[in-house]
Amino acid sequence: MNAVPDDEARARIAARLEELDAEDALGREGQGVVTLDQQSVGRLSRMDALQSQAMAKAGQARRDAERRRLAQALERLDDGEYGYCDTCGEEIAPKRLALDPTATRCVECAAG
């Protein structure tokens, strides 16, 4: 039996999904189209705006990847495989899962 109760793991995953949704809302503005009007935005300001846009898009990509890992963790919960190492089959330490509910390998297998 897994040392991490399913309801506790689901609550952690749901909380992280909510955090990602909040971060998405903050990041949407930064991903908008950068205006081409050189009169209102100088060349350096435009470069800064393009860099900010690229950073916002990269942040969104990271959030999307984490959202996919969280969905996979929910699938493992549904299948009864959550909390067990994909490599060796041993139980993943509850503290590791508390830090990262998407962990799929125990510390030994992840290090090696």
Q: 5 vs 69, which has greater pLDDT? A: 69
Query: pLDDT tens, 18-73?
Result: 999 998 887 666 555 555 555 555 666 778 878 888 888 899 999 999 999 999 99
Helices 6-28 & 43-79, crossing angle to 10 degrees? 160
Pairwise CA distance, residues 52 & 91, whole Å: 42
**pLDDT over 70 for what percent of the chain?**
81
Query: What integer pLDDT is reported at residue 17 of this predicted model?
Result: 96
Q: 29 vs 80, which has greater pLDDT? A: 80
What does the pLDDT average to over 72-94?
Answer: 95
Q: 45 vs 110, which has greater pLDDT? A: 110
What does the pLDDT average to over 2-27?
Answer: 87
Output the DSSP codes for 11-73. HHHHHHHHHHHHHHHHHHGGGSPPP--TTTS-HHHHHHHHHHHHHHHHHHHHHHHHHHHHHHH
